[in-house]
Amino acid sequence: MSDDFYIRCEDLFKIYKTANLEVVALRGLDLRIAAGEFMAIVGASGSGKSTLLNILAGLDTPSAGRCFVGGEDLLTMSSGDMVRYRRKKVGFVWQQTGRNLVPYLDAVQNVEVPLVLDGVPAARARERATHLLELVLMGHRLNHKPEQLSGGEQQRVSIAVALANNPPLLLADEPTGELDSVGADTVYDVFRSLNKDLGTTVVIVTHDPDIAARVDRVVAIRDGRTSTEIHRRVYFEGAKTEIVHEEFVLIDAAGRLQIPREYLERLDIHERARVLMGEGRVEVRPEANPRGTRRSG
Q: 171 CB contacts (<8 Å, ≥6 apart)?
A: 53, 56, 57, 90, 91, 92, 93, 203, 204, 205
Does 236 lie in the same domain as 211? yes
For residue 236, what pLDDT band results from cuts at 50, 70 and 90?
Answer: confident
pLDDT of 241 reads 75
Q: What's the pLDDT tens digit per position in 63-77?
A: 999 999 999 999 999
Does 201 lie in the same domain as 130? yes
Does 286 lie in the same domain as 206? no
Q: Domains in the chain: how many in total?
A: 2
Does 267 lie in the same domain as 227? no
For residue 293, what pLDDT band results from cuts at 50, 70 and 90?
Answer: low
**Residue 254 domain-assigned?**
no
CA torsion sign for 255, 256, 258, 259 is positive
pLDDT of 2 reads 45
Does 226 lie in the same domain as 146? yes
Q: What's the pLDDT tens digit per position in 246-286?
A: 888 888 777 777 787 788 888 888 888 888 888 888 888 88
Q: What's the pLDDT tens digit per position in 122-181?
A: 999 999 999 999 999 999 999 999 999 999 999 999 999 999 999 999 999 999 988 899
Does 162 lie in the same domain as 70? yes
Alpha carbons 265 and 155: distance in angstroms, whole number: 41
Does 242 lie in the same domain as 263? no
For residue 218, what pLDDT band results from cuts at 50, 70 and 90?
Answer: very high
- Looking at the predicted structure, is the pLDDT value of residue 83 above 60? yes
**Residue 212 domain-assigned?**
yes
Does 178 lie in the same domain as 144? yes
Does 274 lie in the same domain as 171? no
pLDDT of 297 reads 47
Share of the chain above pLDDT 90, in %: 63
Does 264 lie in the same domain as 147? no
Q: 178 CB contacts (<8 Å, ≥6 apart)?
A: 95, 96, 97, 151
pTM: 0.87
User: What's at 36, amino acid-wise?
Assistant: G
Does 239 lie in the same domain as 272? no
Boundaries of domain holding 210:
5-249
